Amino acid sequence: MSIDLSQFIPSFLEESFEGLELMESELLNLKEGDNETIDSIFRAAHSIKGGAGTFGFVKVTEFTHLVETLLDEMRDGRREINSKDTEILLESVDCMRLLIEAARDDEEYDQDKVAQTTSRLAETLGDEPSSDSDNQSENMVAASNVCGYTINFIPEHSLAKTGNDPLFIFSALAELGQLTLSADCNDLPALVDIDPQELYLSWQLTLYTDADEAEIREIFEWVEDECLLEVVPIPDTSNTSQDIDVLASEEEPQSQSTTTKQESLVNTPKSSTETELAQDGKVEDENIPAKAKAKADVGSIRVGVDKIDNLINLVGELVITQSMLSELGNDFDMDKVDRLTSGLEQLLQNTKELQESVMRIRMLPISFAFNRFPRLVHDLAIKTGKKMELVIKGEQTELDKTVMEQIGDPLVHLVRNAADHGIESCEVRLAKGKPEKGTISLDAYHQGGNIVIEIKDDGAGIDREIVLAKAVEKGLIDVNAILTESQVYDLLFEPGFSTAAEVTDISGRGVGMDVVKRNIQSLGGRIQVESTLGKGSCFKVHLPLTLAILDGQLVKVGSETYIIPLIAIVESLQIDNKLINRVSGDMVLYRLRDDNVPILPIYQLFNLATKCTEIDKALLVVVEADGQKIGLMVDDLLAQQQVVIKSLKDNYQQVAGISGATILGDGSVAMILDIPGIIHMALAQAQHAQREKTDGNASVTAEVCL
């Protein structure tokens, strides 16, 4: 019988990564005498090892076995819990993650890191050897007189209900040598009394192998509480000279010994008189195609049953409404108009609720993104020599899975920035009257139709004068420039900008903050900075809840309809001619309270024909991005509505000033404006016009001189 195990790999990977997160989280909170936490960590490692063995991920199994051994010594009280061992286990979790990712993607892993951690684990285990290792030589001598084992395996009837299959056990045993088995059917009831979920058989197995008894019993670890197991050695009477070979092999490296053993067992003769399960009949684990492993993890979402039930109910309501409308379509007359209108309203409501329900399925608690940061802050505290703690709030706030996956790296950089630039050293904090331990806070909450993520620290804050001086030094601003507070903080996101006194392996090269801003903007979000010198800083990341749907304002320009993202709109207003100022060139400014906002006619930007070309007769939509405001001149404001975003890049090509498109209710296509891109285009056009004007004046001067 052959089973394609590749279909189960995605589930194994998902559960393994969850297990690694649990191990990491528990290790960070591990305290001396906390046996319950150790048990939880051990169970997670044990599950990963067992699953990896089932799917033939040998490297994962071998490495995790060392981790499990160290945890077992802690669990049994043979080893005290200390910070040194905890750090080694945290490193081991990193290596397990590397090995599992390499197995998933069919790629190489950092062998030096794994080898170094393996060496540290082996060295740690050698510091306080367990009582079992004292008799290692004795066990090797005893094993030399054994050529195999007789195994009596009597599982409980309920074994299959827990997901355990004896076939997997027999397959693993067959890998160790020549396996023969016979089934005991004495407990098998009559056919009418058989419960298909019960297991009625027991087995007697004979395994010829040079593996020791511990390896045999380890295969039965998954079911040891659900069976009666007896392992009896078979004495080797063929040649006592083999004792010398076994003792000599003790001095060889373990990896070499294991390899030799596996190669020598492949061609072991089979018995023709008994039922066999040898190498040929084992479950297809090593035959899983590499590409199948690499493509197995295509991403998945765990959805609560309540969300699925709600979705099913809504589909049921939709079917009922559709049936009612179909019935109205038969022999329709004007007397049925009221019922038709009511049915269409019901259809609209059902469709809207169905859309919201489907979108909620993609929503996950942001704790999935926040879970990596306790470990990150822990490692940064060790690396920088500072004392700091992480406080997480709002971890149950939900966010679209796609947004969450893409926001991870920007958040990592902001947290690293807070730890390196924000939090001061212990000495400096004490001198300022602050607590010795600094605090970095992560918070997430909903605000309107968006989510806000705050990265806050109680550190030194941002020194405005240092930022301005650095910007002048790099030529980013003029020495006499007058900037608002938000404009000063926006300088932090310029490429290559850094106020660090020295470069470290954490930060200081001026690489990263510009990427952070660019990545956030690519998600349709924005970043806002608040800081008080000497008290700390707060970076606020505003993001849409989902990338699939956008809250937008529909505007009319000529015969075209455009959509402006609501998150970018500051306000909309009727233009007052008294507040219009024309400056050099073609630039027109609108005085909006304390700001002078440049006016950009949309019809000029996209070369559209429109009757509304006079500024004082148009409407102005003031938008903001990158800390800069601009007024978009439009003909008319239409409705506000949610629209489904369609990618232009995937379906056509990227267009400057356009971030996507959508299909409106009347079937027409409307373009979604890219506000940061439009502001960039407007500034480029203004600079180009200014250069042309300067060049023209220079030409006139030259002619006069001639």
- Token representation of residue 78: 């043979």
Assigned domain for 682 exists: yes
Domain count, the chain: 5
Place of tokens 């007896």: 230
Residues 490 and 636 in one domain: no
Range of the domain at 386: 365-544
Q: Is residue 476 part of a domain?
A: yes
Marked catalytic residue, from 21, 73, 175, 417: 417
**Average pLDDT of the residues in 237-257:** 41
User: Does residue 685 fall inside a structural domain?
Assistant: yes
Same domain, 531 and 572: no
Q: Which CATH number goes with the domain that contains 69? A: 1.20.120.160
Residue 459's domain is classified under what CATH number?
A: 3.30.565.10
Residue 557, sorted as left (phi over 0), alpha (psi -120 to 50) or beta, turns out to be: beta
Please identify, among 488, 518, 544, the residue that sits at the C-terminal boundary of a domain: 544
Residue 204 inside a domain? The answer is yes
Give tens-digit pLDDT for 537-558: 999 998 887 777 788 899 999 8
Task: Check whether residue 497 and residue 377 sit in a common domain.
Answer: yes
The per-residue pLDDT for range 564-616, each reduced to its tens digit, is: 988 888 899 988 888 888 776 567 888 888 788 888 888 888 888 888 888 87
Domain with residue 237: its CATH number is 3.30.70
Residue 616 belongs to domain with CATH number: 2.40.50.180
Domain identity same for 244 and 207: yes
Whether residues 533 and 589 share a domain: the answer is no
What average pLDDT does range 521-546 have in this prediction?
A: 87
422 and 486 co-located in one domain: yes
Let me know: does 49 contact 61? Beta carbons within 8 Å: yes
Per DSSP, the residues of 292-330 read HHHHH--------HHHHHHHHHHHHHHHHHHHHHHHHHT
Domain boundary among 529, 544, 559: 544
Please report the pLDDT score of residue 457 as a whole number.
94
**Boundary of a domain, candidates 489, 517, 544:** 544
The CA–CA distances, whole Å, from 499 to 173, 411, 420, 504, 514 equal 62, 20, 12, 12, 14
* Nearby residues of 480 by Cβ (< 8 Å), 6 or more positions away: none
Contact of 632 with 681, CB cutoff 8 Å:
no
294 occurs within a structural domain: no
Query: What Cα–Cα distance (Å) separates residue 573 from each residue in 305, 595, 631, 635?
Result: 47, 15, 10, 12
Q: Using one digit for the tens of pLDDT, what is the confidence trace for 217-238? A: 888 877 777 888 888 888 766 5
Give the tens place of pLDDT for each residue, 49-99: 888 877 888 889 889 988 988 888 888 888 888 888 889 999 999 999 999
Clarify whether residues 474 and 409 are in a common domain: yes
| 389 annotated active-site | no
Instruction: Confirm whether 377 is domain-assigned.
Output: yes
Tell me which of 499 and 347 has the higher pLDDT.
Answer: 347
Residue 473 Cα distances to 466, 477, 645, 656, angstroms? 10, 9, 43, 32
Does 522 share its domain with 377?
yes
**Over the chain, what is the mean pLDDT?**
78
Question: Which of 287-291, 323-327, 351-355 has the weakest average pLDDT?
Answer: 287-291
Mean pLDDT throughout 289-295? 39
Q: Which of 46, 378, 421, 542 is catalytic?
A: 46
Does residue 414 sit in the same domain as residue 380? yes
- Asked, for residue 705, whether it belongs to a domain, the answer is no
Same domain, 333 and 392: no
Are 387 and 514 found together in one domain? yes
Would you say residue 385 lies in a domain?
Answer: yes
Residue type, 176: L
CB under 8 Å to 116, separation ≥6 — which residues? none
462 and 349, same structural domain?
Answer: no
Per-residue pLDDT of 426-475, as tens digits, reads 999 999 999 999 999 999 998 766 789 999 999 999 988 898 988 888 88
pLDDT in tens, 653-693: 778 888 888 888 788 889 999 888 888 777 776 666 666 66
| Catalytic residue (choose from 21, 26, 68, 175) | 68
Per-residue model confidence (pLDDT) at position 318: 87
The pLDDT of residue 369 is above 50: yes
Work out whether the CA dihedral 610, 614, 615, 620 comes out positive or negative: negative
- Residue matched to tokens 């609560």: 304
**Threshold 0.85, pTM exceeds:** no
Q: Reply yes or no on whether 417 is catalytic.
A: yes
Is 46 considered catalytic here?
yes
